[in-house]
Amino acid sequence: MKSSPAEKLFDGFNYIFLTVLMVITLYPCIYVLMASVSDPMEMYRGSKFLLWPRGFSLSNYVAVFNNRMIWVGYKNTIIYVAASLIISVTATVTAAYCLSREYLLGKNIMIFLIVFTMYFPGGLIPTYLIVDKLNLVNTPWAILLPTAINTYNFIVTLSYFRSLPNSLEEAAKIDGASDYKILSSIMLPLAKPITAVISLYTMVGMWNNYFTPMIYLHNPNLYPLQLVLRQILIQNDTSMLGTSAQSDVASAYLENIKYATVVVATVPILCVYPFLQKYFIKGVMIGAIKE
């Protein structure tokens, strides 16, 4: 079918608009990447517009990787992500499965109380007081336990378990299987798609999380990578890089080191995300349709 002039004009406008939008979105990423591999003095003397490296240099990355706090942040982030996956996925799957059973007394009240927190959270100050009373402040548990169950992940998982036929559980009970056996041998293998989805949500959320550690952690040796990055960028804490700004030239070096720090902190999740995008899209619809 031939397009009319109006349709061609509309398509052309869309291409131009999307191209401009793509450039606006990509340029900050390109700038940070190019600045991170540029010579600081060339950056200091050149214009602010940047599309390719100026005086290619890896000295910025050498300075970053020589920084002890970067490695401490990486180690802590990996530990937090792994622990969060175990705790959050286990708690979410077991809670969603139990509350998806029609015969469980009071399940509607429990579901209502969980969903209620999604719209009316307790607030930062009451939550902090509770965490403090439990002596969890300045410990890894402060960022693992309060966020163990994400309400959205719980709702999606609950919908998925509800979409599974009840006949599977009835047949297993006739054969003498216990509730634990049904969950571990029948439901969990069938729940691999939804388990993968909430695992990805949890992993990305914990990797990018800086606000919760900023509230509850005061020991720099417990800081995750994103909080180390925030200390360097937002608070201009150049002491973490083992140097301080004494002149404009030193400031130029520090700026380039900050760009390299941003790349080091974000590249791992950026490399993984494109391969996991399909699971994120699938997670929007999974369990939404019951046939």
Q: Domains of the chain by range and CATH?
A: 5-66+243-281 (no CATH), 68-221 (1.10.3720.10)
Residues 113-123, mean pLDDT to the nearest whole number: 85
Alpha carbon 277 to its chain's center: 13
Q: Running DSSP on this structure, what letter comes out for residue 241? A: G
More confident residue, 224 or 254: 224
Structure tokens at 166: 């009840």
Q: What is the pTM of this model?
A: 0.77
Instruction: Round to whole Å and give the CA distance between 59 and 31.
Output: 17
pLDDT digits (tens, 9 = 90+) for 42-70: 776 666 777 777 777 787 788 888 888 88
What does 164-227 look like in DSSP terms, one character per residue?
Answer: S-HHHHHHHHHTT--HHHHIIIIIHHHTHHHHHHHHHHHHHHHHH--HHHHHH---GGG--HHH
Which residue, 192, 231, 226, is CA-closest to 206? Answer: 226
- Amino acid in position 100: S
